[in-house]
Amino acid sequence: EILIQSAYSIEWLENLGVDMEPSFTFEQRGQDVAKVVKQGDESEGATLMSKLEESFDELGGTKLMDTRVTELLVDDGNVVGVLAEGPEGVVEIRAEAVVLATGGFGANSEMIEDTIPGLATLGYHFTGNPKNVGDAFDLVKPVDAQTYDKNWVIPAPGSILPHPAIVAKDSKLRDFNGFSTLEENLISNRVLVNRNGDRFTNEGAN
């Protein structure tokens, strides 16, 4: 869904005043990808977040910092809000919709092992946010929410991790990464498939 809606997402950001420009990948890989035009010494991400925060404030939104959601409020099977804990104690927030944006679970070694058995044999080391521990998975248990197929997950941006059975066939794929220097050689004569033999990604893209 995120890929299907990506063009609309870019248009939405532009309407919020975020300047976008073609990414370098268009020239290097033939991909028409847009990226944020950073302002001054800010990173692209910081520029984007500044614009989103500005729009959020203009719409009258309220930000609660250092506040962690501990429980979803459920009424007749529907999520109607959250319980959160912050500097002022426990707060109840009612809402028409709740978006869980907690990041992944790359920093949760137990969840990684349970979800992707044998991942350690690929030499995987998580280098992302240490707070990415899979909070959302615990939060949605009371509503029996649908989650991703456990056979394939990407625990950190930029990493495509082949199934161990594939690595057993070709050890070079152990080091495959979307931003790897090995990428050109890896994708020139290989097609990436999942454990069922189904092609799962455009191997010409990161």
Nearest to 122 by CA among 146, 156, 150: 156
Q: Which residues contact 51 (CB under 8 A, 6 or more apart)?
A: 13, 16, 17, 18
Categorize the per-residue pLDDT at 138 as very low, low, confident or very high, splitting at 50, 70 and 90.
confident
Higher pLDDT, 188 or 116: 116
At 164 the pLDDT is 65
172 in Cβ contact with 186 (< 8 Å): yes
At 180 the pLDDT is 45
User: Would you give the DSSP letter of residue 202?
Assistant: -
- pLDDT of 127 > 90? The answer is no
124 in Cβ contact with 89 (< 8 Å): no
Residue range 48-105, pLDDT digits in tens: 999 999 999 999 999 999 999 999 999 988 899 999 999 999 999 999 999 998 888 8
139 in Cβ contact with 100 (< 8 Å): yes
Identify each DSSP E strand in 23-151 by its residue range: 34-36, 68-75, 78-86, 89-94
When pLDDT is averaged across residues 3-17 and rounded to a whole number, the result is: 84
Q: Among 41-50, 146-155, 180-189, whose mean pLDDT is lowest? A: 180-189
- pLDDT of 176 > 60? The answer is no
Higher pLDDT, 169 or 72: 72
- What does DSSP say about strands 34-36 and 78-86: parallel, antiparallel, or unpaired? unpaired
Categorize the per-residue pLDDT at 26 as very low, low, confident or very high, splitting at 50, 70 and 90.
low
| Averaged confidence pLDDT in the chain | 76
Categorize the per-residue pLDDT at 27 as very low, low, confident or very high, splitting at 50, 70 and 90.
low
Place of tokens 């002022």: 88
Neighbours of 206 (CB within 10 A): 19
Structure token pair of residue 81? 């809000």
Categorize the per-residue pLDDT at 182 as very low, low, confident or very high, splitting at 50, 70 and 90.
very low
Q: Which residues contact 7 (CB under 8 A, 6 or more apart)?
A: none
Query: Amino acid letter at 64?
Result: L
Nearest to 86 by CA among 66, 70, 101: 66
- What does DSSP say about strands 68-75 and 34-36: parallel, antiparallel, or unpaired? unpaired
At 152 the pLDDT is 45
At 162 the pLDDT is 57
Give Rg (Cα) of the chain: 20
At 59 the pLDDT is 92
160 in Cβ contact with 178 (< 8 Å): yes
